[in-house]
C-alpha cells in the first residue's frame, strides 16, 4: 500500500470526520477560555482536559457526610482491588503461556480502538457504559479522598487519542503532594488508590447479575424469538427460497394441516429455540421431508401470517472445501476419525480439485454446485470427480434444516412493549453487556503494577510497608521551578528538606546576549517552610518586591539538602522488577495475539 493510499484511507475513514468535528469544537472552546489558562490543558492531538472546581464541594460533602462508613467501605476495597491485581497478573501470565504453547483465538488480547476495530454504530453502544464507568471511577477516588480529609484540587472532563478520539470521560484531581506526605498515613493512600477499581469491580458484578436476570426483567413485555436474516437459495443448498423472506419473525411452529393448539411458541429464554424445536427438543417431532407451518410476524408491515416450509436433510460428508473458480472446487480439509470424519479412509486428499459432482460438471453460474447436490433426499453416497478419478464419499444424515440464516428478535407481548419496539430490549442488553466487558477489562488493566495505573500505587505502598523507611543521611538535589507571580511558593520535589543552599533565577539568553545568566537571591529573600503541615520542611517561600520585574514562567533553580531513605536502594529495584516483568507479560500478550491471529494497526 502506497503512502497516498494510506493517507486517502485515513481521510475517508468515517472516524476521521467524527474526530475532526470533535477537535474543531475543542479549539473553539479553548478560544473562549483563552484568558483562563488554568481551566484547560491541550496536548494536540493526543489529550485535552477541561478543569472546574464547581463539583469540588459536592464531592467533598458526599465524602464527609458519613466518614466512618466511607472509610470502612473503602478499606474493604483495598482487599478487593488487590485481589484483582493478583488475578490480573495470573490471567495475563497464563494467557501468555497459552499463546506460546497452544494458541486459540479466544485467547487473543486486543485493544478496542475507535475507527480501527470499532465502527461508529458500535461506538454508540459504548458511549454510555464508558462514561458511566470512567465517571464513577473518578468519583470514587474523590469521595474516598474527601472521607480521609484530602483536598480535591479540581474536577473535569477529558478526551484522548491520536487525532482519532479513543477515549473520553471525567477526572478528579486530589492534592497528590499532600497525599504522599507524612500528613496522611498509608491506609489513606491505599483506600484512595483502590477506590476507583473497587467501584469498577462492583459495576462489573452488578452488570453480570443484570445480564443473568435480563430474561426475567423483560419477561412481562417481550420474548426472544428468531428472525429470518436471509434465505439460502437452492444453488447454495436451500430448501425454502420463495417460502420465507428476510425480515420474517418466526413466532410458533406446528405440523402442516393441524390445529392452532398444536403450535409450539418460540421463546429462546425458556429453551424453545428454533434449533431446539427442529432437533426434537419439544413435543413437536420433526424429520426430513416434513411440511411445517410457521406463524410469522412481519415488523415492516405490522402484519401476521402463516407460511409453509419443507424440512430438508442436513448432511455431513466430513470434508472442508472452497471454490477456486466457477467450475472447480478444492478440498481444504479431510476430517480424521478422532474428528468424527466419515471419509478419512478414501483416496481423496487435501488439495484435490473437484470438477464434477455426481457426473455433473461444476458450474456455479448455471447453479450446478456441491451444495445443490446435497439437497436431494435419501442420499447415502456422493461422487466427486477430479481430472484423474472419481471418489465415492459416504453421506451421513445428521438432522434437518430449513435453509435460512437467522438472528434473535424481541417480540412484544403487549402494546406498551410494542410502542418501544424490539430495539429497546436489544439496546439495553447490549449496553449491559458492554458495561460488564468494559468495567471488568478496566478493572484488570488498572490493577496491573505499571506506572500511571492504580495497581502500581497499591504495590508501591505495600513495598514501602514491607521494607519500611530509614532516614540516616542527607543528599543534595536541584529543582528547577517555573515562577508564578500569584503563587510565590516553590514546592520542592522532596518532602524532608534539611536546608537550602541557594536559590537562583535563570535569565534565558536573548538575541544580543551570548550566554544565559543567573541571579543568586540573598538568604533574606526566601525562607524554608513546612507548607504541608507534616512536621517537615518542603517549600521555599519567596519574599520578592511587589513590583518585581521577574517575568512569568521564569526558571528558578533551588539547590538543597534533603534526608534520603536508605531503603530506597532496595525498594526501587524491587518495584521496577515487578513493573518490567508485568510489562513484558502484557506486551507479550498483545504481540503474540497479533502474530498468531493477525489484527489491525492504529494509524501512526
- Give the pLDDT mean for 147-164: 78
pLDDT of 149 reads 92
Same domain, 292 and 323: no
**Lowest mean pLDDT segment, chosen from 155-159, 283-287, 492-496:** 155-159
pLDDT given for residue 427 in this prediction? 92
Reported as a pLDDT band with limits 50, 70 and 90, residue 160 is low
359 and 383 in contact (C-beta within 8 Å)? yes
Tell me the per-residue pLDDT of 179-224, one tens digit each, with 9 for 90 and over. 999 999 999 999 999 999 999 999 999 999 999 999 999 999 999 9
| DSSP SS3 for 510 | coil
Assigned domain for 157 exists:
yes
Contacts 24+ apart (CB under 8 A), 201-208: 201/80, 201/81, 201/84, 201/439, 201/440, 201/443, 203/132, 203/133, 203/136, 203/435, 203/439, 204/435, 204/436, 204/439, 204/440, 204/443, 207/432, 207/433, 207/435, 207/436, 207/439, 208/436
β-strand partners of 360: 357
User: Would the pLDDT of 603 be above 50?
Assistant: no
Domain assignment present for residue 264? The answer is: yes
For position 246, what pLDDT does the model report? 94
433 inside domain:
no
Average pLDDT over residues 271-288: 94
Domain harbouring 333, CATH code: 2.30.42
Is 520 found in the same domain as 480? yes
Q: If you average pLDDT over residues 471-497, what whole number do you get?
A: 91
Residue 441 domain-assigned (yes or no): no
Is residue 455 included in any domain, yes or no?
Answer: no
489, pLDDT greater than 60: yes
| Range picked from 13-27, 56-70, 520-534, 570-584 for highest mean pLDDT | 570-584
Q: What is the pLDDT of residue 104?
A: 87
pLDDT for 52 beyond 70: yes
427 found inside a domain: no
The whole-angstrom separation of Cα 31 and Cα 25 is 10
Range of the domain at 67: 3-216+586-597
> 50 and 171 in one domain?
yes
In DSSP terms, which residues pair with 481 in a beta bridge? Answer: 556
Query: At 285, which CATH number?
Result: 2.30.42.10
Question: If pLDDT is split at 50, 70 and 90, which confidence band does 173 have?
Answer: confident
Q: What is the pLDDT of residue 448?
A: 95
Give the number of domains in the chain: 4
Quick one: pLDDT at residue 125? 82
pLDDT digits (tens, 9 = 90+) for 500-512: 999 999 876 655 5
pLDDT at 87: 95
Q: What percent of the chain has pLDDT over 90?
A: 69
The model's pLDDT over 356-396, given as tens digits with 9 standing for 90+, comes to 999 999 999 999 999 999 999 999 999 999 999 999 999 99
pTM of the model: 0.81
pLDDT for res 114: 62
Q: What is the mean pLDDT of residues 337-366?
A: 93
Q: Are residues 33 and 169 in the same domain?
A: yes
User: Average pLDDT, stretch 537-544?
Assistant: 92
Rounded to whole angstroms, how far apart are CA atoms 96 and 100?
Answer: 7
Residues 126 and 21 in one domain: yes
On average, the pLDDT of the chain sits at 89
Amino acid at each position: 500500500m502506497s503512502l497516498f493510499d494510506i493517507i486517502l484511507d485515513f481521510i475517508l475513514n468515517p472516524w476521521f470526520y467524527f474526530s475532526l468535528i470533535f477537535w474543531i469544537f475543542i479549539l473553539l472552546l479553548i478560544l473562549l477560555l483563552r484568558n483562563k489558562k488554568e481551566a484547560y490543558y491541550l496536548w494536540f492531538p493526543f489529550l485535552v482536559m477541561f478543569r472546574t472546581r464547581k463539583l469540588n464541594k459536592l464531592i467533598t460533602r458526599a465524602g464527609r457526610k458519613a466518614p466512618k462508613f466511607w472509610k470502612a467501605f473503602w478499606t474493604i476495597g483495598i482487599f478487593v482491588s488487590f485481589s484483582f491485581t493478583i488475578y490480573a497478573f495470573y490471567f495475563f501470565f497464563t494467557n501468555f503461556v497459552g499463546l506460546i504453547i497452544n494458541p486459540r483465538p479466544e485467547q487473543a488480547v486486543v485493544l478496542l480502538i475507535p475507527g480501527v476495530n470499532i465502527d461508529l454504530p458500535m461506538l454508540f453502544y459504548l458511549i454510555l457504559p464508558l462514561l458511566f464507568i470512567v465517571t464513577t471511577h473518578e468519583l470514587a477516588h474523590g469521595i474516598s479522598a474527601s472521607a480521609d480529609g484530602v483536598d480535591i484540587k479540581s474536577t473535569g472532563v477529558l478526551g484522548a487519542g491520536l487525532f482519532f478520539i479513543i477515549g473520553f470521560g471525567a477526572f478528579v484531581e486530589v492534592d497528590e503532594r499532600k497525599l504522599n506526605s507524612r500528613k496522611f498515613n498509608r491506609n489513606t493512600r491505599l483506600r484512595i488508590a483502590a477506590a476507583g477499581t473497587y467501584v469498577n469491580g462492583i459495576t462489573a458484578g452488578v452488570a453480570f447479575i443484570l445480564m443473568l436476570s435480563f430474561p426475567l426483567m423483560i419477561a412481562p413485555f417481550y420474548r426472544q424469538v428468531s428472525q429470518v436474516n436471509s434465505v439460502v437459495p437452492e444453488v447454495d443448498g436451500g430448501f425454502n427460497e420463495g417460502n420465507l423472506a428476510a425480515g420474517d419473525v418466526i413466532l410458533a411452529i406446528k405440523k402442516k394441516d393441524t390445529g392452532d393448539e398444536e403450535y409450539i411458541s418460540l421463546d429462546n429464554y425458556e429453551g424453545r429455540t428454533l434449533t431446539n424445536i427442529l432437533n426434537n427438543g419439544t413435543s413437536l417431532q420433526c424429520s426430513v421431508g416434513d411440511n411445517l407451518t410457521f406463524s410469522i410476524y412481519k415488523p415492516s408491515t405490522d402484519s401476521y401470517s402463516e407460511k409453509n416450509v419443507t424440512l430438508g436433510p442436513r448432511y455431513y460428508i466430513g470434508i472442508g472445501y472452497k471454490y477456486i473458480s466457477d467450475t472447480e472446487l478444492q478440498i481444504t480439509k479431510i476430517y480424521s476419525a478422532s474428528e468424527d470424519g466419515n471419509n478419512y479412509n478414501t483416496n481423496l486428499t487435501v488439495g484435490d480439485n473437484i470438477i464434477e459432482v455426481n457426473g455433473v460438471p461444476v458450474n456455479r453460474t448455471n447453479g450446478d454446485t456441491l451444495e445443490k447436490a446435497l439437497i436431494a433426499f435419501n442420499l447415502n453416497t456422493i461422487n466427486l470427480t477430479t481430472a484423474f478419478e472419481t471418489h465415492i464419499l459416504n453421506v451421513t444424515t445428521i438432522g434437518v434444516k430449513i435453509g435460512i440464516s437467522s438472528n434473535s428478535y424481541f417480540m412484544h407481548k403487549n402494546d406498551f412493549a410494542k410502542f418501544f419496539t424490539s430495539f429497546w430490549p436489544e439496546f439495553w442488553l447490549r449496553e449491559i453487556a458492554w458495561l460488564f466487558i468494559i468495567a471488568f477489562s478496566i478493572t484488570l488493566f488498572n490493577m496491573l503494577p505499571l506506572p500511571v495505573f492504580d495497581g502500581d500505587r497499591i504495590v508501591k505502598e505495600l513495598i514501602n510497608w514491607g521494607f519500611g523507611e530509614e532516614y540516616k543521611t542527607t543528599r543534595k538535589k536541584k529543582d528547577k521551578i517555573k515562577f508564578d507571580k500569584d503563587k510565590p511558593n516553590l514546592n520542592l520535589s522532596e518532602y524532608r528538606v534539611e536546608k537550602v543552599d541557594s536559590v537562583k533565577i535563570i535569565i534565558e539568553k536573548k538575541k544580543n546576549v551570548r550566554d544565559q545568566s543567573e541571579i543568586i537571591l540573598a538568604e533574606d529573600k526566601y525562607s524554608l517552610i513546612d507548607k504541608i503541615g507534616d512536621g517537615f520542611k518542603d517549600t521555599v517561600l519567596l519574599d520578592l518586591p511587589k513590583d518585581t520585574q521577574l517575568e512569568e514562567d521564569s526558571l528558578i533553580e533551588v539547590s538543597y539538602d534533603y534526608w534520603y531513605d536508605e531503603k530506597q536502594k532496595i525498594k526501587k529495584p524491587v518495584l521496577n522488577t515487578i513493573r518490567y516483568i508485568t510489562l513484558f507479560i502484557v506486551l507479550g500478550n498483545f504481540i503474540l495475539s497479533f502474530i498468531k491471529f493477525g489484527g489491525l494497526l492504529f494509524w501512526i
